[in-house]
């Protein structure tokens, strides 16, 4: 039986993509670990058998096309799993956000996912494989001050749900991983948070800063290797549709089934907005 193949975007060391690459490799898959800058990939991952490094910038059509051609040649025209993991964060109230930063985030978190998925689709159809989108509980839990990130994850969640219907006749699964709090270095790449001096949200700046620095994630998040092992186990078990992994994911799933006012109360309370006048 031919070795199954997986390509993962955004596998820089210390992140979810890197942990997923280790977990897939551990189970005998051939892993194409990609990053815009491959020097950021963990050397320990690069040294493992069945791991191949590729440069891939999901915001560049030329970079995507080059990666597709390379994988097609190396893997014989088939790809069993495409894991869309590349992503950016941005924490800032809507009234204070920078539109250029917002567009940059959507270019990676949404348009980049669509571009990579469309480019690799023929290989996935040939293999009757699976597209895996790393989404977030932020796509349903509208945590204040993360409005652009939340919106990008809501968009990618709906994209995944709809694409799953469209690709079902071709035998391709589409899995959306609703990711909760996970301990990674993700916050190191979030734009520096500086609230404007005339912001209406100055009275709650401490609440925003706590989110921008990842204090809650560091304290309560699921270890990234534990998260990755759980996700890969479900993927190799034939998962399809939404799956929920990481700290708080079960709670958010439960809240999403309740009337809106329950989620509203939780979000207003934890963000400090309830006391803002």
Looking at the annotation, which residues are catalytic? 149, 153
- Are the CB atoms for 75 and 122 separated by under 8 Å? no
- Are the CB atoms for 92 and 204 separated by under 8 Å? no
- Are the CB atoms for 274 and 208 separated by under 8 Å? no
Angle at 1 between CA 238 and CA 121, to 5 degrees: 55
Alpha carbon distance 160, 54 (integer Å): 25
Nearest in space to 132 (alpha carbons), one of 77, 83, 194: 83
Alpha carbon distance 183, 84 (integer Å): 19
Alpha carbon distance 79, 6 (integer Å): 6
Strands 182-183 and 173-179: unpaired
Alpha carbon distance 242, 132 (integer Å): 10
Tokens at residue 108, please?
Answer: 């990676």
- Sign for the pseudo-dihedral over CA of 82, 88, 92, 96: negative
């Amino acid at each position: 039986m031919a070795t199954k193949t997986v390509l993962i975007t955004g596998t820089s060391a210390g992140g979810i993509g890197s942990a997923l690459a280790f977990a897939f490799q551990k189970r005998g898959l051939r892993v194409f670990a990609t990053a815009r800058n491959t020097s950021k990939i963990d050397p320990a991952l690069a040294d493992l058998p069945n791991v191949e490094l590729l440069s891939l910038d999901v915001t560049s059509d030329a970079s995507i096309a080059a990666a597709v051609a390379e994988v097609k040649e190396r893997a014989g025209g088939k790809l069993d799993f495409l894991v869309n993991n590349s992503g950016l964060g941005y924490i800032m109230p809507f009234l204070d956000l920078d539109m250029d930063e917002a567009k940059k985030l959507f270019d990676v978190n949404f348009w980049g996912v669509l571009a990579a998925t469309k480019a690799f689709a023929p290989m996935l159809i040939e293999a009757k494989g699976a597209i895996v989108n790393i989404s977030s509980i932020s796509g349903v839990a509208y945590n204040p001050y993360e409005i652009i990130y939340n919106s990008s994850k809501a968009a990618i969640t709906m994209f995944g749900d709809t694409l799953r219907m469209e690709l079902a006749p071709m035998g391709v699964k589409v899995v959306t991983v609703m990711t909760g709090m996970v301990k990674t270095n993700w916050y190191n790449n979030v734009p520096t948070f500086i609230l404007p001096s005339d912001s209406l949200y100055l009275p709650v700046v401490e609440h925003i800063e706590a989110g921008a620095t990842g204090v809650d994630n560091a304290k309560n998040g699921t270890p990234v290797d534990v998260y990755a092992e759980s996700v890969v186990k479900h993927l190799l078990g034939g998962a399809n549709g939404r799956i929920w992994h990481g700290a708080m994911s079960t709670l958010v799933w439960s809240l999403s089934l309740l009337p809106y006012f329950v989620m509203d109360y939780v979000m207003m309370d934890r963000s400090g907005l309830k006391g803002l006048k």
